[in-house]
């Protein structure tokens, strides 16, 4: 495997897995109550394969081991995101934000909408680090860590406010989340977020040049690609990039009767997931 093919692999898996999850969530949303839980249960093989792949890759320093570790981390991450987007694992607060809520209360309420999901992500990250930190192959650990910190950064930026937010992909179980987003020209966190992701991408690139075997070259290439994609997802919050078009063609057509719109609908831009 070459650096180019590894980069294309990361790009394809990012695009395809995102589309499959969004499609599964949308179809579950159309089927009504109970469909979300059934979808999450049907997705358990993805989690099991991810955990198994993570485990068997720990001692494999080849290019195959690097790819398995990368895909395994994405499988674990994907199942947790599926559980969140279907509304199965979210948080105790399932209500829209009341008008004129103080900022400190807005943050607490926003945390309540995600609490169980965030705690599961933190527990999974800690478990993966404890299991794989001293292993010969740590690419699975670092892949999950990149996804974790990039997602935390994205959620905070949506909370503090960015110019472009699109809630079209939010399922009905999570439509209340749109009331916690804020549209504004810029927030103080965004420059730090993109700087940190840019620095991380540069660090992974530097590691490619310092790699001692093919497995490390491919592993660091995959980390570079997924970090760069996380950086791109941040930039589409502020730039007029219609990223939703990458997946809209995969999703079922909306029903004739459209749900009540939220204040952020039809603003365009980042899908806010």
What does the DSSP assignment read for 169-225? T--GGGGGGGGG--B-S--SHHHHHHHHHHHHHHHHHHHHHH-SSHHHHHHHHHHHH
Domain boundaries of the chain, sorted by first residue: 3-248
Give the pLDDT of residue 248.
77
Q: What are phi and psi of 4, to 5 degrees?
A: -65, -45
pLDDT digits (tens, 9 = 90+) for 40-69: 999 999 999 999 999 999 999 999 999 999
Q: How far is CA 146 from CA 4, 228, 229, 230, in A?
A: 21, 10, 11, 8
The pTM is what? 0.91
- d(Cα 8, Cα 126) in Å, to the nearest integer? 29
Give residue-wise pLDDT tens across range 96-150: 999 999 999 999 999 999 999 999 999 999 999 999 999 999 999 999 999 999 9
Phi-psi region of 153 (alpha: psi -120 to 50; beta: other; left: phi over 0): alpha
| Residue 253 in this model has a pLDDT that exceeds 80 | no
Residue 129 corresponds to which tokens in the numbers above? 């680090």
Q: How far apart are CA 209 and CA 211, in angstroms?
A: 6
CA separation for the pair 264, 236 (Å, rounded): 16
SS3 270: strand
Query: What does the pLDDT average to over 185-189?
Result: 94
| Residues 233 and 150: beta-carbon distance below 8 Å | yes
- Among residues 116, 49, 118, 58, the alpha carbon closest in space to that of 79 is found at 49
Gap between the Cα atoms of 24 and 92, Å rounded: 23
Q: Give the pLDDT of residue 255.
A: 63
Alpha carbon of 6 to those of 10, 134, 141, 225: distances in Å?
Answer: 6, 24, 18, 8
């Amino acid at each position: 495997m070459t650096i180019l093919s590894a980069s294309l692999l990361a790009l394809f898996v990012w695009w395809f897995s995102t589309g499959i999850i969004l499609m599964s969530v949308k179809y579950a949303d159309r089927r009504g109550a109970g469909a979300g839980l059934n979808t999450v249960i049907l997705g358990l093989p993805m989690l099991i394969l991810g955990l198994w792949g993570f485990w068997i890759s720990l001692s494999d320093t080849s290019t195959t081991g690097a790819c398995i570790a990368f895909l395994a981390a994405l499988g674990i991450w994907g199942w947790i995101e599926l559980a969140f987007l279907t509304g199965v694992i979210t948080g105790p607060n399932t209500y829209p934000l009341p008008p004129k809520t103080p900022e400190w209360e807005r943050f607490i309420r926003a945390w309540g909408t995600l609490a169980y999901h965030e705690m599961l992500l933190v527990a999974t990250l800690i478990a993966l680090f404890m299991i794989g930190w001293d292993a010969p192959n740590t690419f699975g650990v670092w892949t999950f860590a990149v996804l974790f910190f990039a997602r935390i950064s994205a959620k905070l930026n949506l909370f503090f406010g960015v110019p472009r937010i699109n809630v079209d992909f939010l399922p009905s179980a999570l439509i209340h989340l749109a009331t916690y987003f804020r549209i504004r020209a810029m927030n103080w966190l965004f420059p730090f977020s993109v700087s940190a992701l840019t620095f991380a991408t540069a660090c992974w690139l530097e590691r490619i040049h310092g790699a001692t075997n093919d497995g490390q070259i491919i592993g660091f290439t995959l980390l570079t690609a997924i970090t760069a994609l996380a950086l791109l997802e941040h930039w589409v919050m502020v730039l007029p990039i219609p990223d939703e078009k990458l997946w809209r063609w995969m999703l079922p057509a909306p029903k004739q009767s459209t749900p009540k719109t939220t204040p952020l609908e039809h603003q365009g831009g980042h899908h806010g997931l």
